[in-house]
Amino acid sequence: MRPMEAGRLHVIAGPMFAGKTEELLRRVHRARLAGLVVEVIGHRLDSRGGTDRLSTHTGRSTPARMLERAEQLRLPVRAEGPDSSDGPDFPLTPDIIAIDEAQFFGPSLVPAIEAQLDAGIQVEVAGLCVTYDGGPFEPLPTLMAMAEEVVKLTAVCTICGADAAFHMRLIADGASALEATAAQVGGIESYQARCRRHRRDAARSGAG
């Protein structure tokens, strides 16, 4: 039996290098300790953990279903319990769906999540809410407006060590924001976290 009759949406947002996936997996671990059934979803563009796992910069990882389109969330799946090796052989309706790298799914993720919430499933979402050039990165802003809880994380500015709400692309190649971010998921060789001041200074100097 689910612990709630209606689904709730929790959003973990921020720039690159803010620890969003780490926080998402921490919540997944706690939910499983409580005996809840959790389905972990990633996007295939994120290959840090291979084709069937989510991984963080600190080495934490968990099995995940890696999808290409938000519409695939509607398909019945086998949900992973505390020990996936001993899991059932038939699909379960999860208590919680945890979605990482939400920005890669685009605006179509919004109705897909709404369908899960209508079904009484809690949804935990992590993703970039800002593009490398400082603009809003949908669908995170919309999901943040819909959510019962929003956690906004910051990274550490590579210039001064202050809280960084932005990240900047170091290599200008004419790619779109989505293409650029997708090409370098967590790539420190191509992106840096920046505070507002040092993002402004770089923009004025024409860097990034």
Positions marked catalytic: 101
Cα(31)–Cα(94) distance, integer angstroms: 11
The token duo for 76 is: 């019945």
- Please tell me whether residue 127 adopts helix, strand or coil conformation: strand
- Residue 43 contacts residue 68 (beta carbons within 8 Å): yes
- Residue 79 contacts residue 36 (beta carbons within 8 Å): no
